[in-house]
């Protein structure tokens, strides 16, 4: 039998998430058409494509918000079927949504504690609702959550309520909530939206620091972020994968240029 380290090394290099011939139709209209790609633990994978290409739908299928009409999502060799979004965290998959989705009635650190649920020995929510939980457990989860806020550089806002905080700070709190339980895969839908170029560069450094620690799948519009941080990129257009490869390969692929040029010409003429 191989030693445990060798086994872990093998698992790390294997594809941990497989999107296998996923088709999604809404009202007879096919939004994803046999989309297949895989993501390995420890890599940063980008999913890009013009508006309406199906990026968020891919994200939603993996999260369990949308059921595919056909095809499979396989996570660490096991098909994910009928999973509810809240069950994902216990499988080691965390996510941040296109908006921020923080709970208004909880402070920043309490929001992050909600993300710590998978590592709690008793329910975090029951704790926040004032139901019995040991003080030691509460302290442990709070400390972990503060560390996550610190990693994102927003620990100073721990006791404040998210609504009062600037949008970029809220986004960082949401990322801290996704990371706090130490997931094996984190999914982010448009993490760069609403951020300044300086904040996007900072986000890029964070994503790079996550490489090797967990798999990262970002659905993103911002090309600079994607090109600078992703190990591999999957390009969607009209619900189909039109290209996949390293940033350099994707940038040099004429089908990609064409898809984006077509999209910009269309939106220009729509705006005219
Ligand atoms: N619930 C739904 N019902 C019907 N059509 C939908 C639904 N969700 C998405 N669509 C359609 O599916 C297509 C893909 O949408 P999706 O949101 O996945 O694209 P996207 O690549 O994320 O776009 P964007 O870049 O604008 O965020 C679009 O034509 C959209 O109108
Ligand atoms: Mg989208």
Residue to probe by mutation, ligand 1, list 46, 50, 55, 68, most atoms within 8 Å of CB: 55
Distance (angstroms) between ligand 2 centre and the Cα of 60 equals: 10
Structure tokens at 18: 């497989």
Please give the average per-residue pLDDT across 170-198, as a whole number.
93
Q: Which atom of ligand 1 is nearest to the CA of 236?
A: 21
Q: Which residues line ligand 1 (CB under 6 A)?
A: 26, 31, 49, 51-57
Rounded Cα distance, 141 and 136, in Å: 9
* DSSP for 147-169, written as a single string: HHHHHTT-GGGTTS-GGGS-HHH
Residue that has been written with the tokens 């940063």 in this structure: 44
For ligand 1, atom 6: residue with the closest CA: 26
Please choose from 30, 31, 32 the residue to mutate so as to test ligand 1's pocket, defined by most ligand atoms within 8 A of CB: 31
106 CA distance to ligand 1 centroid (A)? 31
pLDDT at 266: 57
Q: Tokens 């927003």, residue?
A: 154
Among protein residues, the one with the nearest Cα to ligand 1's atom 26 is 51
50: its two tokens: 């013009």
> What's the mean pLDDT when you consider all of the chain?
86
- Residue 51 CA to ligand 1 center (angstroms) comes to 8
Strand duo 240-245 + 232-237: pairing: antiparallel
Ligand nearest to the CA of 65: 1
Give the tens place of pLDDT for each residue, 185-204. Answer: 999 999 999 899 999 999 99
Of 63, 61, 65, which Cα lies nearest the Cα of 35? 61
- So what's the pLDDT on residue 116? 87
What domains, with CATH codes, occur in the chain?
99-182 (3.40.50.300)
Range in 161-170, 222-231, 255-264 the model is least confident about: 255-264
Q: Is 40 exposed, middle or buried (0-12, 13-18, 19+ CB in 10 A)?
A: middle
Nearest Cα neighbor of 187 from 14, 16, 17, 59 is: 59
Q: What are the pLDDT digits (tens) for 8-38? A: 344 444 568 999 999 999 988 999 999 999 9
Going by alpha carbons, the residue nearest to atom 2 of ligand 1 is 26
Mean pLDDT value across residues 222-244: 94
pTM assigned to the model = 0.86
Mean pLDDT of 72-93: 85
Say if residues 235 and 243 touch (Cβ distance below 8 Å).
yes
Nearby residues of 62 by Cβ (< 8 Å), 6 or more positions away: 17, 19, 73, 80, 93, 187, 217
13 contacts 7 by C-beta, under 8 angstroms? no
Torsion of CA 20, 23, 24, 25, to 10 degrees: -170
Measured by CA distance, the residue closest to atom 1 of ligand 1 is 26
Determine the distance separating the centroid of ligand 1 and the alpha carbon of 220, expressed in angstroms: 14
Task: Check residue 221 and report its DSSP letter.
Answer: S
What is the position in ligand 1's atom list of the atom closest to the CA of 53? 21
Q: CA 162, CA 173: separation in Å to the nearest integer?
A: 8
């Amino acid at each position: 039998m191989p030693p445990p380290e060798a086994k872990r090394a093998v698992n790390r290099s294997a594809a941990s998430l497989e999107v296998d011939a996923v088709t999604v139709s809404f009202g007879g209209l096919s939004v994803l058409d046999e989309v297949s790609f895989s993501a390995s633990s420890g890599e940063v994978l980008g999913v890009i494509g013009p508006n309406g290409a199906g990026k968020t739908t891919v994200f939603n299928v993996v999260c369990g918000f949308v059921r595919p009409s056909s095809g499979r999502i396989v996570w660490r060799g096991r098909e994910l079927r009928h999973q509810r979004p809240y069950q994902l965290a216990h499988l080691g998959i965390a996510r941040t949504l296109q908006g921020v989705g923080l709970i208004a009635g909880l402070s920043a650190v309490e929001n992050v504690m909600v993300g710590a649920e998978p590592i709690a020995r008793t329910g975090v929510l029951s704790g926040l609702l004032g139901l019995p939980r040991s003080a030691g457990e509460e302290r442990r989860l709070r400390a972990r959550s503060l560390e996550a806020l610190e990693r994102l550089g927003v620990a100073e806002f721990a006791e404040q309520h998210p609504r009062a905080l600037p949008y970029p700070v809220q986004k960082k709190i949401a990322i801290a909530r996704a990371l706090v339980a130490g997931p094996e895969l984190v999914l982010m839908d448009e993490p760069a939206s609403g951020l300044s170029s300086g904040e996007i560069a900072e986000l890029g450094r964070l994503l790079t620091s996550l490489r090797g620690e967990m798999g990262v799948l970002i659905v993103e519009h911002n090309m600079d972020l994607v090109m600078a941080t992703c190990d591999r990129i999957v390009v969607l257009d009209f619900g189909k994968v039109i290209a996949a490869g390293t940033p350099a390969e994707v940038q040099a692929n004429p089908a990609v240029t064409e898809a984006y040029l077509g999209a910009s010409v269309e939106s220009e003429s729509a705006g005219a």
